[in-house]
Chains A and B, each alone.
Chain A
């Protein structure tokens, strides 16, 4: 009963966010981005949105060339640490000069250029300029930090509320069943009752981290963190290393010298099994990345229908209805992907730590 009401609260919350999202995106497109109305421009706009960015832009006016948002610190390693504000780039329109070095933004990436900001391209339209190591606090890093603070407040608060009494109060009542859900439905069935405790911290952190980021991706803030390959690679690597480092003897035996098969098969199986340990986290990272990216692309494309349509009065309601429909599905996907990532992580860990006493 409680689980249902929790789901309902989240559904309502997310619906509100989604509707805000729609309004905001419409406003963004309709009023401010008057120039984005051809197919190639829409493609570029969507691609731009999917990428990380060096400043936190809330909306921009394409015609006037104004951007509302705030700049973020750029940190480069280029023969020494270079730290400056991203406002120097003026959203990629100007060349930033730092310590007699010139940098320019091109498609969300920082290149070293000359004073005029010339960027040379090869035949595949890839910039050939030198790319300095970029450790900037980008929009995604800021979002991650916000999520960290949010999670710390939420679950720190929940932890604190247990000091006062056995039952949590306020928002903790929503969070507690979710924590129990992760423990009872994800961790214990896959890892087992005796061993699950050690991995609960990672599973809970990853579950809520991905879920909150997925939900934030549906807000009009226009962030796309879990749809960024670097993020999913990092998350999957965590799962990979935790799995390998907590694996027991039987797990390694099954990989390097599979018991119960002929010697020749053992030799054949070894590379396959070693590759298998890598494909598991690879599937994790691609699944999360692809699902979230696809969701963002579909929603933005549906909204873009309004601007490419010949008959705007017919297309607008159709596009809105479709967008709402897909948004609701995306809401489910936001949870589902967090669940699947955590579930599979737990499964892989479970496989690595389980006792093979059935041989």
Chain B
């Protein structure tokens, strides 16, 4: 202790105190204040940047959700439209089919009617021709048959016999 007190140099103490005071003052003004301020600013900046990044991320998520929703809606709409179109197509085909059927039926009926009438006409024609022919044949036969008297009489006789029977 005695040696410590003996070693204590007041001059050195004086200079140290003076220099330290000046150093403290100068460094505080020209170094620590700007350094600490910049550090604080930077840390604030980093904090803000992180926060805004987080906000942006949330925004992005919202946007993505929106997009998803819109996409789903669009998809549903497309599906609906496709379904409608298919329905329409089917209806159209069915309508066309039915129309074609009726038309065809009509044509067939007409054809049948025409055929019937043609047939009837043909039959009638045939009948009249057959009748003419028969009459001609009958005339010829009759002419030939009734060439002699007896045969005329016999015929009359048989005809009369028939009439009586009726």
Interface 1/0s, chain A 219-249, versus B by CB < 8 A? 0000000001111011101100000000000
Interface size for B (C-beta < 8 A) is: 32
Q: Which residue of B lies closest to A75 (CB)?
A: B11
Contacts of B27 in A (CB 8 A): 151-152, 155, 201, 204-205
- A159–B34 CB distance below 8 A: yes
Q: How far is the CB of B36 from chain A (nearest CB, A)?
A: 6
A137, A202, A234, A237: most-surrounded residue (chain B CB, <10 A): A234
- B10–A234 CB distance below 8 A: no
What number of A-B contacts does a CB cutoff of 8 Å give?
Answer: 116
- A141–B12 CB distance below 8 A: yes
CB within 8 Å for A135 and B35 given contacts A152-B30, A205-B27: no
Residue of B6, B11, B35 touching A159 (CB-CB under 8 A): B35
> Quick check: is A321 within 8 A (CB to CB) of the other chain?
no
- A51–B7 CB distance below 8 A: yes
Q: How far is the CB of B146 from chain A (nearest CB, A)?
A: 147
Q: Which residue of A lies closest to B31 (CB)?
A: A155
Q: Which residue of B lies closest to A162 (CB)?
A: B38
Contacts of A144 in B (CB 8 A): 15-16, 19
Contacts of A228 in B (CB 8 A): 7, 9, 12
A229 to B10, CA, bound (A): 10
Residue of A75, A134, A148, A197 touching B23 (CB-CB under 8 A): A148
Interface size for A (C-beta < 8 A) is: 45
A228 to B13, CA, bound (A): 10
> Quick check: is B89 within 8 A (CB to CB) of the other chain?
no
- A201–B35 CB distance below 8 A: no
A148 to B30, CA, bound (A): 13
> Quick check: is B4 within 8 A (CB to CB) of the other chain?
yes
Q: How far is the CB of A178 from chain B (nearest CB, A)?
A: 11
Instruction: Summarize A's interface: helix, strand, loop or mixed.
Output: helix
CB within 8 Å for A180 and B39 given contacts A141-B15, A205-B23: yes
- A135–B15 CB distance below 8 A: yes
Q: Which residue of B lies closest to A77 (CB)?
A: B11
Q: Which residues of chain B from 4 to 54 have any CB-CB distance to chain A below 8 Å in the complex?
A: 4, 6-17, 19-20, 22-24, 26-28, 30-36, 38-39, 42, 45
- B35–A126 CB distance below 8 A: no
CB within 8 Å for A158 and B35 given contacts A134-B10, A233-B8: yes
> Quick check: is A140 within 8 A (CB to CB) of the other chain?
yes
Enumerate 23 A-B pairs (CB-CB under 8 Å) in ascending A order. A52-B12, A134-B11, A135-B14, A140-B12, A140-B16, A148-B19, A151-B27, A152-B31, A159-B31, A159-B35, A162-B38, A166-B38, A200-B32, A200-B36, A202-B24, A209-B23, A229-B7, A229-B8, A231-B12, A231-B13, A231-B16, A233-B8, A234-B13
Chain A contact residues, CB within 8 Å of chain B = 51-52, 75, 126, 133-138, 140-141, 144-145, 148, 151-152, 155-156, 158-160, 162-163, 166, 176, 179-180, 183, 197, 200-202, 204-205, 209, 228-231, 233-235, 237-238
